[in-house]
Amino acid sequence: MAKVRFEHVRKVYENGYVGVADADFEVGHGEMLVLVGPSGCGKSTLLRMVAGLETITSGTLSIGDRVVNEVSPRERDIAMVFQNYALYPHMSVAENLAFGLRLRGTPKGERERRVAEAAAMLDLGRLLPLKPAQLSGGQRQRVALGRALVRQPAVVLRDEPRSNLDAQLRLSTRVEIAKLHRALGATMIYVTHDQIEAMTLGQRIVVMRDGRVQQIDAPMRLYERPANTFVATFLGSPKMNLLQGPLLERDGALRVRVADGIELALAPSPALQAKLRARVGREIIAGLRPEHLHVARGGDAAALPARVEAVEPVGNEAFLNLRCGGCDLVVRLPPHGLPAAGDELRLGYDAAHMHFFERDSELRIDEDAA
């Protein structure tokens, strides 16, 4: 197990395309770090640079205390779990598990001990004599993981299974990986474009966009304190509602005018209030997650007029799609006693959970920032 350190790592492809602009962070000893972002944001490029499958244009990459920019993949002591399971079809599960160790000349006794250990951990005992073709997709995933783990590498890398993994299999693999990570304490870097996978697996998450790291933090910190509107809307489903308008101050109270006659009343903390007052007269973006909106009762003077466009019950909850002063909003509600499409209602909001972003930079207006 080892830490991995990126220092101003940059990847420019031969055609001049910047795959990764300036990665500068560390993956801790035994940490499960998840790289997440939309397709093409540079996640796999970053992972492949750690694996040694992609050259590094500039910057320094270290595994443990060793700079590995020029070290070949074989000598990096990493294991990569590929998206296609890449098991040898003519070998049994036991032989697949032992193969890497045999290549490295690990003595037979040691080999058998490690295979037995990995098989026990992954619940593969019964499958050891079988061939890959006789396994289910989930079992093949577990064997692929097992094959990486028997080598006891310093770092385990896993690119997302983009393949036809069904939702159930994704979930069980996720649970499996989380359990394994806890049991082994291996340093793992995991790539996914799936924000749920990122939130549930990552001890920390690196959110990327267009080759650039947007924010690195624990999942709930990212959810509660997104650094910009991209992170705010990327994590969370349905995504955060964003409302834009000029920031006003009336009778000492701060408001955002999102449309003619429609104003959000703000209730910022004292520290944030000072930051917002300095921006009165400018356009800002207010963010509200779907769970922080509700259908208002009679006495809520701050409530906004809205019209129901669509109602989506999903079992344990429901989503209301609303039109409010030219904005489309989504509200998360309990699934009973719902309004109907076409209904006019008043929309309440939890002002204490409002996020604020600058309109031009789209950066969070943060009470803790200098």
Give contact residues for ligand ADP (rule: CB under 6 A): 13, 15, 17, 19, 37, 39-45
Least CB distance to ligand ADP at residue 226 (A)? 19
Residue with smaller CB distance to ligand ADP, 17 or 88: 17
Give CA–CA dist 71/307, Å, rounded: 61
Q: Give the Cβ contact number of residue 367 at 10 Å.
A: 16
Q: Is 155 helix (H, G, I), strand (E, B) or coil?
A: strand
Pairing of β 253-259 and β 241-250: antiparallel
Rounded to the nearest whole angstrom, what is the least distance from the CB of residue 171 to ligand ADP in the complex? Answer: 22
Report the residue number, 159 or 263, with the smaller CB distance to ligand ADP: 159
Q: CB nearer to ligand ADP: give 40 or 339.
A: 40
Q: Phi and psi at residue 231, in whole multiples of 5°?
A: -65, -40
Question: What whole-number distance in Å separates Cα of residue 303 and Cα of residue 244?
Answer: 17
Q: Smaller CB distance to ligand ADP: residue 14 or 65?
A: 14
CB nearer ligand ADP, residue 46 or residue 262: 46
Q: How far is the CB of 139 from ligand ADP (least distance, A)?
A: 26
Q: 186-204: buried (b, 16+ CB within 10 Å) or exposed (e) per residue? A: bbbbbbbbebebbbebbeb
Burial 218-242 (b: 16+ CB within 10 A, else e): ebeebbebbbbbbbbebbbebebbb
CA 17 to chain centre: 24
Partners of 9 in the β-ladder = 23
Nearer to ligand ADP, 42 or 146 (CB): 42
> Strand 318-324 and strand 304-313: pairing?
antiparallel
**N residues, the chain:** 370
Q: Cβ 166 to ligand ADP, closest distance in Å?
A: 21
Angle at which helices 108-122 and 137-149 pack, to 10 degrees? 140
Nearer to ligand ADP, 45 or 241 (CB): 45
Task: Give me the helices (H) in 25-166, please.
Answer: 43-51, 93-103, 108-122, 137-149
Q: Least distance from C-beta 365 to ligand ADP, angstroms?
A: 29
Q: Considering the complex, state which of residue 160 and residue 217 has its C-beta at the smaller distance from ligand ADP.
A: 160
Nearer to ligand ADP among residue 37 and residue 52 (C-beta):
37
Tell the burial category of 260 from Cβ atoms under 10 Å away from its Cβ (0-12, 13-18, 19+).
Answer: exposed
Least distance from C-beta 38 to ligand ADP, angstroms?
A: 7
CB of 191 to ligand ADP, least distance (A): 6
User: Of 44 and 241, which CB lies nearer to ligand ADP in the complex structure?
Assistant: 44
Give the shortest CB-208-to-ligand ADP separation in angstroms.
Answer: 7
Q: How far apart are CA 140 and CA 91, in angstroms?
A: 13
Shortest distance, position 46 Cβ to ligand ADP, whole Å: 7
- Residue nearest ligand ADP, CB atom distance: 44
Residue (of 30, 24, 20, 18) closest to 5 by Cα position: 24
Instruction: Determine how many CB atoms are found less than 10 A away from the CB of residue 360.
Output: 10
Min. distance of Cβ 8 from ligand ADP in angstroms?
18
Identify whether the C-beta of residue 13 lies closer than 8 Å to the C-beta of residue 35.
no
